[in-house]
Chains A and B, each alone.
Chain A
């Protein structure tokens, strides 16, 4: 990705950027390689949005 492309992304509205951050979090949760049982590293995990 070029610097100009990154600058274009930087100019997106804040609301849209946070939607993409949320999408990145969800993607990384689904895409993460399964850890071996012996791995004890701490990884942040977001719970699903609570249903009201």
Chain B
């Protein structure tokens, strides 16, 4: 029986559709699925797409985003969009995560262009959240992710964050 894959190219296509429709200014993949780009593979069950909203209001245009995705034929469950059955969460970026979106790395997946958080931003974001699993993620990224220590220090300094003692 074939194993269902992670439809990352189609997720990028959905995000790009939002940008083309003017509902978001920019987007990038963050969270665990982005971390897998830099570390050993580990299980994760959804994709976190961070976006810079076009709507500066409190709603960040989320209702319009979901309306657009529904009209494009995507399913929805528990506040997630389903792209070929795979849950996608849309997160309005602010401060540190907005910088991560703006400085994201361009890539191509299944021939579809997309954007992914740089490893240094993933480290600092995990450190800022601070749960035990985020501390474990910081360690994993530092050990495996070939982190640029100067860039990492810059991000920490700009956002007044220090990494936890591991």
Contact = CB atoms under 8 A, between A and B. Distances in A.
Interface of A: 3, 6-7, 9-10, 12, 14-15, 17-26, 28, 44, 46-50
Contact of B37 (A14, A26, A44): A14
Given A6-B40, A7-B144, 4 more contacts: A19-B5, A25-B43, A28-B43, A48-B85
Interface string B154-166: 0000000000000
A18 B8 CA distance: 9
22 contacts: A6-B39, A6-B40, A9-B41, A10-B38, A10-B40, A10-B144, A12-B41, A19-B3, A19-B5, A21-B6, A21-B33, A21-B36, A21-B41, A21-B44, A22-B6, A24-B43, A25-B45, A28-B43, A44-B87, A46-B4, A46-B85, A47-B85
A43 to B, nearest CB: 9
Contacts, number: 75
B144 A18 contact: no
Interface residues of B, number: 29
Contacts of B6: 18, 21-22
Interface of B: 2-6, 8, 33, 36-46, 84-87, 107, 109-110, 143-146
A21 B85 contact: no
